[in-house]
Structure 1
Amino acid sequence: MENSVLHLENADIYQRDNLVLSKVNLKIDTGDFYYLIGKTGSGKSSLMKTLYGDLRLQRGTGTIVGFDLKKLKEKDIPFLRRKIGIVFQDFKLLNDRNVFDNLEFVLKATGWKNKEERKAKINEVLEKVGMQKQYYKKTFELSGGEQQRVAIARALLNDPELILADEPTGNLDPKTSLEVMHLLNEIHKSGKTILMATHDYQLIVKFKHKTIKVEAGELFEVAQQAKV
């Protein structure tokens, strides 16, 4: 169990009062990269929201980065989210601020008191995603791909044990999707654990990783195709 970052056993996932997934069993270890696939409305987002504390885990057991999802209190959620990096489909950046200020906002909110340390950390993550030269730009001046790079940088700020990427290429064109995927792969190779919900089969075929599928209210692992 030591190296498992996420472990669900017989977990029932609810969206409000509707049971969307039943008896989910899932174990993700440090350094894994998993795709989470399934049709729109199949429960992928509800599963993701349960993992980062937006929806309660009502039945079964679940631990994520050392937190018990069943016992998760409102006050624990900020601490949970410091250990998880979340990348959304629609970036969720603050449009009235520049790139640097978007990242500094997160660091201040998560307890970084020292200004020089904040600056160094922001430069480090922007360099990782190839955006350090655009640190002064307002986010609305950036392309979709650039905004997603900034969102990935934001997810890396607190050195998360797990990155949850919820349709990170959903709003991007195919070329930009590939660039973002290359970036996520590099981050994975650097030792990060990633769970990525996607319906972009082009990426799944091109970048081979373990795949779990949500279908008819259940979750199961899909046999991996032979590596090309």
Structure 2
Amino acid sequence: MSDVILELSKASIYQRENLILSEVNVSINKGEFVYLIGKTGTGKSSFMKTLYGDIPLKDGVGHIVDYDLRKLKTKEIPHLRRKLGVVFQDFKLLNDRNVQENLKFVLKATGWKDKTKMEHKIDEVLQKVDMKTKSFKYPYQLSGGEQQRIAIARALLNDPELILADEPTGNLDPQTSIEVMEVLQQINKNGNTILMATHDYALLLKYPSKTLKCDGQKVFEVVQKNTKST
């Protein structure tokens, strides 16, 4: 088994007929924490959407968690997404049910049947994001940071090989952003591979890691200067 979780080679990403990114060469290995940065409109979201099957890959080579993005069929997309955990900026929680039911909804939708196993899994992921005491709260009873923790817990339900976090701190204040980053860092230390799109450069300085940048229809790795004094 290869340690490469995501590989794009000479890939072009289009939104309908518009070329968004060209000649994309990206490789992410198991266990890495990788940032995706770039100004609004440079293609970060299109890049992410291509990875979870929302935008088809028309040109080049693309493999993610053992799926070929060029050959990805519509009926395979739910299976691909089970191997990915996706965290969005706007949480996407269902307000008409509590945290426990939100998570159970995802498990049922992805084929879980055994009630005891479902409850055990929900407990396990809530423990990982330090939200075990909030399982009977409704999303609107939680702060933004707490809702994002629940969204991260939801992304962990099917033991994903790769977590795609699309601006996960975009709607949060700086202190809450750091709390959510701490959760993501811990999850990464536990072995989860994470690709995080962000425009919050303060987080990059505080938690330096491999960084990809979208700019001028290209994606390239940028080397962060080490600003820490010796």
Q: TM-score range by the shorter chain?
A: over 0.9
**Residue 95 (structure 2) aligns with:** 95
**Residue 154 (structure 2) aligns with:** 154
CA 1:187 to 1:227, structure 2 compared with 1: closer, same or farther past 3 Å?
Answer: farther
- CA shift, 1:219, in A, is 0.6
- CA shift, 1:140, in A, is 1.0
Tell me, in whole angstroms, the C-alpha distance in 2 between the residues paired with 1:148 and 1:227: 30
1:74 paired to 2:74: yes
Identical columns (%): 64
SS of structure 1 residue aligned to 2:154: helix
- CA shift, 1:45, in A, is 0.1
Q: Is the 8 A contact 1:161 1:193 kept in 2?
A: yes
Tell me, in whole angstroms, the C-alpha distance in 1 between the residues paired with 2:97 and 2:71: 36
- 1:156-190, CA deviations, whole angstroms, 9 ceiling, x for partnerless residues? 00000000000000000000000000110000000
Q: Is the 8 A contact 1:208 1:227 kept in 2?
A: no
SS of structure 2 residue aligned to 1:155: helix
Which amino acid in 1 is paired with 2:69? Answer: L
**Residue 167 (structure 1) aligns with:** 167
Which amino acid in 1 is paired with 2:183? Answer: L
Q: Flag structure 1 segments of 5+ consecutive residues without an equivalent.
A: none
- CA shift, 1:227, in A, is 6.7
Tell me, in whole angstroms, the C-alpha distance in 1 between the residues paired with 2:136 and 2:37: 36
Which amino acid in 2 is paired with 1:83? Answer: K
- 1:4-56, CA deviations, whole angstroms, 9 ceiling, x for partnerless residues? 00000000001111000001000000011110000000000000000000000
Tell me, in whole angstroms, the C-alpha distance in 2 between the residues paired with 1:170 and 1:202: 12
**Residue 4 (structure 1) aligns with:** 4
RMSD of aligned alpha carbons: 0.9
Which amino acid in 2 is paired with 1:136? Answer: F
Aligned length: 228
- 1:119-153, CA deviations, whole angstroms, 9 ceiling, x for partnerless residues? 00000000110111010011111110000000000
- CA shift, 1:225, in A, is 2.1
Q: Flag structure 2 segments of 5+ consecutive residues without an equivalent.
A: none
Q: Which runs of 4+ in 1 moved over 4 A?
A: none
TM-score normalized with structure 1 length: 0.99
**Residue 131 (structure 2) aligns with:** 131
